[in-house]
Amino acid sequence: MVKAIIAPSMLSSDFANLASEAERMLNCGADWLHMDIMALHSSAVTECCICALQDGHFVPNLTLGAPIIESLRKHTKAYLDCHLMVTNPLDYVEPLGKAGASGFTFHVEASRDNWQELVQKIKSKGMKPGVSLKPGTPIEEVYPLLDGENSVELVLVMTVEPGFGGQKFMPEMMDKVRTLRKKYPSLDIEVDGGLGPSTIEAATSAGANCIVAGSSVFGAPDPAQVITLLRGSVEEAQKRS
């Protein structure tokens, strides 16, 4: 049976106090810390400004990168679950590996031409490879990454459009989770976006076992209580299945 993993999204934390926010979440029972890495690939700008402006931004936001992961690593031994929302994830493998990232989850939309090289490199740097997909991307797109030689070990199903915390959960994404769980019973299936006490049931009964939650955890008066509730939902759903 796959393990229940609760990963507060540090995107909702106080970035100016990242180390103490991380410690606070771990004390509240977090298993992983979810790190949202959003950036514009700089060489895309140099190579073709117009393309970069039209679609080079993987998301319309800028968050953190390897230097911050490296700084945080000095303060914690926690599993740092990095979610790469960038146009060229390959550029980030070496720096994030060096910085001390634990998981490296890239987007299938940004790696259609080089996912095999990417997975190989992620593994060679000692990180756990994962693939994510945007709401508009069909689940079938990740199958080759799960069935081949260089397979990923986690699939992150986005349940909001990537880019920002605090958005509304998209329940229609649960069909992807159900399909994936049926086909891959021992896979880590992560859900990200809009998860909290009112939406967790839909995700866990579909088969998700890794739960990313930002605003619902950081915005709660008692984050530990929310983390316990999320974990309980994964475990209850697993008992029922």
Ligand X SMILES: O=C(CO)[C@H](O)[C@H](O)COP(=O)(O)O
- Comparing C-alpha atoms, which of 102, 41, 25, 31 is closest to residue 69? 102
Which residue blocks in 128-209 are alpha helix, DSSP H?
A: 143-147, 174-183, 200-206
Stretch binding ligand X (CB under 6 A), from 86-94, 145-153, 160-168, 221-229: 160-168
* Binding residue for ligand X, selected from 137, 167, 205, 228, defined by CB under 6 A: 167
Per-residue string for binding with ligand X, 186-205, x by CB under 6 A? Answer: ------xxxx----------
Binding to ligand X (CB under 6 A) within 89-148 occurs at none
* Binding residue for ligand X, selected from 125, 163, 178, 220, defined by CB under 6 A: 163
113 labelled catalytic: no
CA–CA distance, 151 with 129 (Å, rounded to integer): 8
Local structure of residue 78 (DSSP, 8 states): S
Choose the contact partner of 176 out of ligand X, Fe ion, none; CB within 5 to 8 A by kind.
none
- Please check whether residue 62 is in contact with residue 108, taking contact to mean a CB–CB distance below 8 angstroms: no
Stretch binding ligand X (CB under 6 A), from 50-58, 102-110, 136-144, 162-170: 162-170
Determine, following the binding rule CB under 6 A, whether residue 63 of this chain makes contact with ligand X: no
Residues 6+ apart with CB under 8 A from 64: 15, 35, 36, 37
Choose the contact partner of 6 out of Fe ion, ligand X, none; CB within 5 to 8 A by kind.
none
Tell me the CA distances in angstroms from 178 to 60, 157, 208, one per residue in order.
29, 11, 8
Cross-sheet strand order for the sheet of 154-158? 5-8, 210-213, 188-192, 154-158, 128-133, 103-107, 79-85, 32-38
CA–CA distance, 213 with 4 (Å, rounded to integer): 13
Q: Which of 53, 62 has the CB closer to Fe ion?
A: 62
Q: Which helix (H) or strand (E) holds 91?
A: helix 90-99
Q: How far is the CB of 206 from ligand X (least distance, A)?
A: 17
55 labelled catalytic: no
Q: Which of 86, 139 has the CB closer to ligand X?
A: 86
Choose the contact partner of 81 out of Fe ion, ligand X, none; CB within 5 to 8 A by kind.
none
Binding site for ligand X (CB under 6 A): 9, 11-12, 34, 36, 83, 160, 162-167, 192-195, 212-216
Binding positions are: 9, 34, 36, 83, 163-166, 192, 194, 214-215
